[in-house]
Amino acid sequence: MGASKPALRAELLFYLTFLVAFALLVGVATSLLALAIAPDRGVAIIVILVALEVGIFVLYGHSLVTRLVLRPLDRVMETADAVADGDLGARAPDAATRDFATLAQRLNRMTDRLLDAQSQLVRSEKLASIGRLAAGVAHEVGNPLGAIVTYLEVLRRRGADEEVTAGIAREVERVDKIVRSLLDYARPQEDPLAPVDTARVVQGAFELLRAQGAFRRLHVELDVGSDVPMVLGRAHVLEQALVNLFLNAIDATPPDGAIVIGARRWAYEPGQAIPKRADDPGYARFPRTSERRPARIEFSAGQPGALLFVADSGSGVPPADREKIFEPFYTTKEPGHGTGLGLAIVARSVHEMGGVVWVDGAREGGAAFKLFFPIVPGS
């Protein structure tokens, strides 16, 4: 770590002090030796030896400055030039001294933020384009869909085959559900953000599904911390997003499987250790690494806030799919069992509330969906 490395000033001071002291000692020793060996030619010998020693010390000083200053500076400048040319994957290497190590870390952090800003811009443009397309498609499909429902009712009154009309009604209802999902996805939220008690929202969504019997034959644990902070958001939108994640976890979890739903205070800092749960032992180590950590550039390292998570013991989400599952119309479910819009709506809702959402591997063996929202300013 940079904090355990010596400072550049201390290193240069130490080596230069050593160099000056050694030069004085060598100079005095050389003068005495030259006068003792050849008193008549002592001055000439002293001049030659001192010149030789100065050359040696200059070469040593150049090597020292190159190793401690010039070479690390060149590496940082090369990385900065690469980033300026558009290579956001370039990273400054570590250095031997604390100052250049810190400089490299800050340059890399700046590059990470530029990469985050670029990804957020691309995502926002993509969401806007898809939103406009979805709204147009939904309205165009909605009109003939209403006509089909009317004709279906006419067929029923004329005594058409009940099995056929039931099948048509089922498929029409499915199309209607897709259209409504498209409208939900395309419709921007206009309600102002307000302070939200995330712990209460999580508990409310949990109780709602438990009262409906959605958790039958499953082992469901509610893990809500005692100091979960208030965040800015929309309570009803956040509750609906959590319900969608709960239902996805229920669909993915086999009978007698486990689901953990929780909320806790957390500091958003890319690359930090995965947060432990309340019942984890102090010595526990979970060597899982995050496959996907989207970030918002306005979050500074260590930004405090609330972390909400839904973890299950299902089959999980393959690493190759973790970047795709929040895209519209992408689904890992069997054909006919999903529209591919549920997680896209969740991602858009979370983004509009100023948060981030991602998926990791759960310690239960399945997927762990996580939502982070920054704390309400001043609280």
Task: Tell me the pLDDT band of 202, cut-offs 50, 70 and 90.
Answer: very high
**Cα separation, 44 vs 191, whole angstroms:** 91
| Winning range, highest mean pLDDT, from 48-52, 53-57, 224-228, 274-278 | 224-228
CB-based contacts of 273, cutoff 8 Å, min separation 6? none
Instruction: Please tell me whether residues 179 and 233 are part of one structural domain.
Output: no
CA dihedral 13, 14, 20, 24 (to 10 degrees): 150
Please check whether residues 207 and 77 belong to one and the same domain. no
DSSP string for 313-333:
SSS---GGGTTTTTSTT---S
Provide φ and ψ at 221, rounded to 5°: -120, 135
Q: Mean pLDDT over residues 66-79, rounded? A: 82
Q: How far, rounded to the nearest angstrom, does the alpha carbon of residue 73 sit from its chain's CA centroid?
A: 29
Position 120 confidence tier, pLDDT thresholds 50, 70, 90: low
| Amino acid in the structure at residue 33 | L
Mean pLDDT, to the nearest integer, of 269-292? 45
Q: Are residues 147 and 202 in the same domain?
A: no
- Is 5 a member of any domain? yes
pLDDT, residue 148, reads 86
Q: Which of 1-5, 162-166, 349-353 is least confident?
A: 1-5
Average pLDDT over residues 160-165: 83
pLDDT for residue 321: 78
Domain count for the chain: 2
Q: Is 235 exposed, middle or buried (0-12, 13-18, 19+ CB in 10 A)?
A: middle
Beta strand extents in the chain (DSSP E only): 194-197, 219-224, 230-233, 258-268, 303-312, 356-361, 367-374
Q: Pick left, alpha or beta for residue 61 (phi over 0 → left; psi -120 to 50 → alpha; otherwise beta).
A: alpha
Nearest Cα residue to 102 out of 5, 9, 13: 5
pLDDT number for residue 333: 62
Which residues pair with residue 55 across a beta bridge? Answer: none
β pairing state of 230-233 and 194-197: antiparallel
Say yes or no: 315 and 237 in one domain: yes
The reported pLDDT for the residue numbered 337 is 56
Top-ranked range on mean pLDDT: pick from 116-120, 274-278, 302-306: 302-306
CA nearest 247: which of 215, 219, 217, 221? 215
Mean pLDDT of 132-144: 75
Does residue 212 sit in the same domain as residue 333?
A: yes
327 occurs within a structural domain? yes
Last residue of a domain, one of 142, 158, 187: 187
- Going by their DSSP bridges, the two strands 356-361 and 303-312 should be labelled as unpaired
| Distance spanning both ends of the chain, measured CA to CA | 32
Structural domain range at position 59: 1-187
Q: Residue 252 in contact with residue 289, Cβ under 8 Å? A: no
Q: Identify whether residues 165 and 256 lie together within a single domain.
A: no
121 domain residue, yes or no: yes
**Phi/psi of residue 162, nearest 5 degrees:** -65, -35
> Angle 127-131-133 (CA atoms, 0-180°, nearest 5)?
120
Residue 379 lies in a domain: no
Looking at this protein, which amino acid is placed at residue 36? A
The SS3 of residue 360 is strand
Write the pLDDT tens digit of every residue in 317-335.
888 777 777 777 666 666 5
Residues 175 and 202 placed together within one structural domain of the fold = no
Q: How high is the pLDDT of residue 190?
A: 66
Q: What is the pLDDT of residues 225-258, one digit of tens each?
A: 888 888 988 888 899 889 889 988 888 888 888 8
* Residue 340's CATH number: 3.30.565.10
Residue 356: Cβ within 10 Å count? 21
13 and 162 both lie in a single domain: yes
Q: How many CA atoms lie within 13 A of 106 on its CB side?
A: 6
What distance in Å separates the CA atoms of residue 23 and residue 18, rounded to the nearest whole number? Answer: 8
Is pLDDT of 273 > 70?
no
pLDDT score recorded for residue 189: 62
- Beta carbons within 10 angstroms of residue 144's beta carbon: 10
pLDDT band at 126 (very low <50, low <70, confident <90, very high): low
- The CA-based diameter of the chain, rounded to the nearest angstrom, is 134
pTM > 0.75: yes or no: no
Look up tokens 């300026």; give the residue: 84
Pair (308, 367) in one structural domain: yes
Residues above pLDDT 90, as percent of the chain: 4
